[in-house]
Structure 1
Amino acid sequence: MRVLLSTFGGRGDVEPLVGLAIALREAGAGVRVCAPPDCAERLDQFGVELVPIGQSVREMVHGPAPTRVPDVPRKAAELMAEQFAELPAAAEGSDVMVATGLFPVTASVQSVAERLGIRYVYAAYCPIFLPSPAHRPQSAPTRPLPPDVTDWKELDALAIEGYNAVFGAALNRERAAIGLSPVDNVRDHVFTADPWLAADPTLAPWPADAANPVDVVQTGAWMVPDPRPLDPGLKAFLDAGDPPVYVGFGSMPAPQHAAEVALAAIRAHGRRAVVSRGWAGLTPSASADDVRVVAEVNHRALFRRCAAVVHHGGAGTTTTAALTGAPQVLIPQMADQPYFAARVAALGIGAAHSGPSPTVESLAAALGQALSPETRSRAAATAATIRPDGAAVAANLILDL
């Protein structure tokens, strides 16, 4: 069997596909990944074949002219054109195509799979991206849902209308070019009636409700089995004192003065710090003996040695911290991050910071909650319930298709 995995986005979009690719390969399947060029080095670490499609996501987010919300319809059309041009050749010989990430890309994968007669699977990393009366529907970019409307069916109809308005014309134009008929509900056509949820059932449970319009298969989170040892310099820093507090925002833009604010809040609790540069280049203004700055690192190995983890609330970082039993402080910036912040708070395994831009005082207060004995005890207990086998579960389901 040959499987094509496709996504477009930052590290949090790509990393789960790396985990799934490894699990598929171990199960005997051939695997190829279509993703932006930024992830080439990461896939090469595990010998996973990459077909790079599209421009650098890092450039789109952190470059001199980052993509803004008003640019989304135009950028979506460009992404679809690139995907429709490159995917058919990349999919040659594939039996299954699995798509995650930005909607223009998943929509392109679905159409190409349909044209080639290949089985297609859509997967989301968070429940809120799939339609359910248990949560407010996700609106399309540039088409926010009216805040005064509360009826779910009305909201869902407006969400579908928004997806059609933003993505419908470009998608149907590309579909027509390869001989496919137009679709009048692009969201549900791409999501399908039986999407997969690649999220941990403890952290992000799918709501058990007979009224759910889709039949979701929850596999668990797709995690990478990372064997890398910690850098000797980092290990020496960890060995030299009490467990530090980790701070990082992954591939996200960081709040203004995030490094200095975080260090001041951490020092207010008498703790040392490990600061991850990430795509935002998070770096303290001055070096100090109580701070270690890191780049690429094995998060699972590092978090096990941290007193707490302060981060943006991405699905992957949240799941990894929960798996290691590290208390968390989430400073959500966008998308699914407020959801995971709320879940961490509800589970009692950390604190959800109110708002995306912390002050020293507000972050110190949230950190105090995360560092409490009660939170650490709850985080340790919850760690035993986090499933690390989601990628293997998904790989077996793919082999069964």
Structure 2
Amino acid sequence: MVKAAVLMKQGGRLEVRDISLGEPGPGQVKVRVHAAGVCHSDLSLANGTLLQEVPAVLGHEGAGVVTAVGDGVDRVVVGDHVVLNWSPACRECWFCLRGEPWLCVHADDMAREPYASLDDGTPVYPGLGTAAFAEETVVPAAGVVKVPPSVPMAHAAVLGCAVQTGAGAVFNTARVRADESVVVVGLGGVGLSALQAARAVGAGPIIGVDVSEAKADLAARHGATDFLVAGETTAKAVRKLTGGRGADHAFDCVGLPATIRTSWSASRRGGSVTVVGVGSKANLVEFSALELYWFGRTLHGCVFGSSDPDVEIPRLLGLAEEGKLDLAALVSDTTDLAGVNDAFERFGTGARTIVDFTS
């Protein structure tokens, strides 16, 4: 038995319960989780914005140590330190073969099947196929990426989603270059990672936008040269900071119609707008045919920062070693399993809350 934060019904609170977790089967790996980041996508699964079979163990941004491997696994061995990869690529589908593993059609296969059970035998599903809000988890071998033991577990955890998604949007999806202007709307863990990436490539000005004025200092620490409180005049204020044109690149890290429209209006003619935040299918965004033509902007969707974790995680660690990314700055709070619900309620006040399984 292992302890886990279990979602019994969408719209309810997570409950700390014992679950029965078997040994890894062929092609699988068991990991003792040391740290797990609390991501807004977990809240979206918990509150029903995103579909999730229940009961389920949420958490998809984690790091730990391999404790067992199934037959046929040669990617890692017992004792390896790993980052969990919630979007493991099959490397064989059409998308994978054309170099887009973040769009793999089999990436969510694990999430659709129970992986454990409650003490009464009720099957339990792994949130996003990862189930990091538990002392241990079992994932496909492709669902782990080996990292050096010297990397602090909390830093490794944020690499699993926040940094790959936010920095990847800047590096891979939008391909921001030096001296290009950037605006980032929504400064949670993903948005702050986008600010850091923009700073790393030498972009400027770098404008952070959030509903909370308290995020101003946090934004500056992560690379923002300017900070704006979100409102009806946000786009106008961005244009004022960018020579009257608007930003070369706008990143929406929220996923709401209003923030997507703000990002769109804050970008220049011919600019790039990247939607990083995960919204609901019920939330519709409207554009007129004329504005799509006239402004000549490019609107990107962005899944997992267009990242291949096997490539991206070593690259991000290298940038951190060079001092170009500050992984420690992304960790603002720590908690235990029982504190995940409180961490959900703190969204908007800091960077990342880490569930620490070692204390």
Same fold by TM-score greater than 0.5: no
More strand by share: 2
Which is higher, the Rg of structure 1 or of structure 2? 1
Q: State TM-score, norm by structure 1.
A: 0.31
More helix by share: 1
Q: State TM-score, norm by structure 2.
A: 0.34
